[in-house]
Each structure stands twice: as structure tokens, then as C-alpha cells.
Amino acid sequence: MRKELPTIADQVVEVLQRSTPEFSVLPSTVDREDINWAVEQALLTVLGYQDEPSAARPVREPVATPVPIDRARRNLFAALTGDACAPEAPLAELARSARWPLPDTVRAVVLTSPGEAAQLAAVLGDTLLSLADGETCLLVPDEGAGTRATLENVLRGRTAAVGHPVPLGDTASSLNWARRLLALSPSRPGSAPDVVFVDDHLTLLLLLQDESLSRALTARWLTPLDDLTPRQSERLEVTLLAWLEGGGAPEAARTLQVHPQTVRYRLRQIEKLFGAALRDPRTRFELEMTLRSRRLMANVRRRSTRGGRRARGVTTGLRPLGVAREARVNGL
């Protein structure tokens, strides 16, 4: 416990400085080492290792310890991820201080179990560990397919999100999309912890990139459905998406698990509403994008408002169902 305490205290101070305005000004008037020591004493007292905090900090020998290295690694993490608080120093210099050889390609990993972060980082090897807006994150050098297999094995049984492999200069992108994916995949009661990879959800993340653009697509392409009842509109949307994906009425009928004649009847309604536009490949492409993004956005809102409970929507978002399942969910 005492061996890890300086690192833990340093991380606590860093979080306090970022989240508490009053605390952020202390380093200008009090030495950072004194602040860290005070936090260490508070932790020891709260955890029951001493009756009360010591009154004065003992003089420490000026020898290298893991704490400066840890701080150097957090500085390097901040620089790689575009943190505004990162020190203004060349990347190579920060890497030397952190004793972390700069790889060509990296993946970001966002964890939901901070207590295991140091252990996981040690198992993974040359890994940077730090916080990003309060979330515990790792940067892992990517060496191809073997890296994913290693991450799957090490992270098994935990809830985490793994970013896509990127060149070192795009590290912030891998981190941002891993955080976005984790936010879109809340744990459901009774469900097992799960590791999600950005690689597996590129289309979903692309469609969910900007809700205002999704609404703009809806306004542009789905206006012909405005005069229908919600149930009629839902049926035609599901049918249109199945037809766009399958390429024909028989395929759409099999996907929706309804009679082909039902699909043909709905397609005649759709053709009356959309007219010749359905024969244009670009229009069909944008319609499919519109329908998919519309449903994904709706599902994300349901997940957010229901606190992670399973939505009754037309898709699960992170584990895309076929349109047949979407249709059954909506009683079609």
C-alpha cells in the first residue's frame, strides 16, 4: 500500500486540480510535493493506517523514484492526446523522460475499473496510464492483429472500450472514439461485463457523429412521411430500409418475416410518396443512411433517459439487429 501511495496521491491531486477551481491555484502558492504529501497523509489517516496526519513533511532524499517517472508518463499521455494542460516540450523529450519508446501506431483503452488499471497496464507491458476527463485510460502500442487478441484476453470479464489503431499523431482520435463508444454502451442489469472495439462499430459511430446532421437528413428525405400516423410511418420506414438493404420485395419479406404481398403493398405506398427519386442510386444511399442514423439516434436517447435499461426501440445500437428483429420489436 505504501509503495503505491505516492502514485495514488499524485493522481488524486491531478484530478482535484482539474475539477476544483479553488484547488487548481494551490501549486502557485504551495509546492506540489507538499500537496502530494498532505494528500498521502490524509489517505493514510482515512484508511486507518495512522491516527492523525503528521504535522510536517520529512525531508526526502533527492533520488530518482517511480513518482517522477509516473508524472512524466502522464505528461507524455497528455501531449499525445492533445490535452491543453500538456507541457510545452518536444514529444521525443517527453518520451525520454517517461522512458517510453514512441511506437508508430497506438490504441487507446478506456476502463471502468480504475482500481485494476495499474495491474492491467503491467500485464500489457509498455503502456501509458493516465486520466482523461476523469476516466482511466491506457495507451497501448499496436503491433497488428496480435494486439487485439492480447487486449481481448487481458480485458476479458471487464467493461472497457478499445479505440481503433492510429498513427501516433492521431492518438486523440482513438481515445475520443473509445470514450464515445463506451458512453453508448451502458451496462444493463444482469448483463456480463463486455469489451467493445471501435473497429467493430465504425459505421455506427460515423452515423452518430452529429445529431444535427442526422436531423437535417431526416428533414430532407423523410418529409413525405410527415402526414402519416406514427404507426404507418414506422411500418413504411422499416419496410423501406429492408428493401434498400435486400434489393427486392422477396428479400425484404424474408427479412421482415411478413408475407411478400404485404411488402409489395407497402412498397406501392412508398413509391407514391417518394416517386421517381427511389430510382436514383444516390437518393437510395442517402435514404438508407437517414433511416439508420434516425433509428440509432432514437435508441441512444432511450438508453440515456432510461438509465441504461434495455430499450424497446427498433435496434440495440451497439449490437445491430437485423431488420427482421427490428420489425418484431415493433410488432410488424
What's the confidence (pLDDT) of residue 152?
A: 94
- When mean pLDDT is compared across 54-58, 138-142, 146-150, the lowest value belongs to 54-58
What's the confidence (pLDDT) of residue 297?
A: 75
Tell me the range of 20-29, 149-158, 270-279 where mean pLDDT is highest. 149-158
How large is the average pLDDT for residues 256-262? 89
> pLDDT tier at 26 (50, 70, 90 boundaries)?
low
% of the chain surpassing 90 pLDDT: 27
* Closest CA relative to residue 163, chosen from 110, 207, 121: 110
What's the confidence (pLDDT) of residue 332?
A: 29
The CB-side HSE value for 5 (13 A sphere, CA atoms) comes to 16
How large is the average pLDDT for residues 273-301? 83
Q: What is the pLDDT of residues 312-330, one digit of tens each?
A: 333 333 333 333 333 333 3
The CB-side HSE value for 220 (13 A sphere, CA atoms) comes to 15
Q: Across all residues in the chain, what is the average pLDDT?
A: 79
> pLDDT tier at 54 (50, 70, 90 boundaries)?
low
Q: What is the pLDDT of residues 127-137, one digit of tens each?
A: 999 999 889 99
* Closest CA relative to residue 225, chosen from 216, 215, 234: 234
- pTM summary value: 0.59
Asked if residue 13 has pLDDT above 90, the reply is no
Distance (Å, rounded) from C-alpha 184 to C-alpha 177? 10
Mapped onto helix, strand or coil, the DSSP state of residue 203 is helix
* 79 touches 94 (CB < 8 A): yes
C-alpha cell recorded at residue 298: 432514437
How large is the average pLDDT for residues 5-10? 81
- Identify the residue whose cell numbers are 487478441: 149
What's the longest Cα–Cα distance across the chain? 86
> pLDDT tier at 300 (50, 70, 90 boundaries)?
low
- Identify the residue whose cell numbers are 496510464: 129
> pLDDT tier at 67 (50, 70, 90 boundaries)?
very low
Distance of CA 42 to CAs 56, 58, 68, Å? 13, 15, 21
What's the confidence (pLDDT) of residue 82?
A: 92
C-alpha cell recorded at residue 320: 445491430
What's the confidence (pLDDT) of residue 207?
A: 78
Q: What is the pLDDT of residues 72-106, one digit of tens each?
A: 899 999 999 998 888 888 999 999 989 999 999 99
Asked if residue 156 has pLDDT above 70, the reply is yes
* Closest CA relative to residue 139, chosen from 149, 148, 126, 150: 126
How large is the average pLDDT for residues 49-63? 61
Asked if residue 288 has pLDDT above 60, the reply is yes
- More confident site: 186 or 67: 186
- More confident site: 89 or 57: 89
Q: What is the pLDDT of residues 175-233, one digit of tens each?
A: 999 998 988 876 555 567 789 999 998 877 887 777 777 788 788 888 888 888 888 88
Distance (Å, rounded) from C-alpha 35 to C-alpha 250? 70
What's the confidence (pLDDT) of residue 55?
A: 60
The CB-side HSE value for 257 (13 A sphere, CA atoms) comes to 11
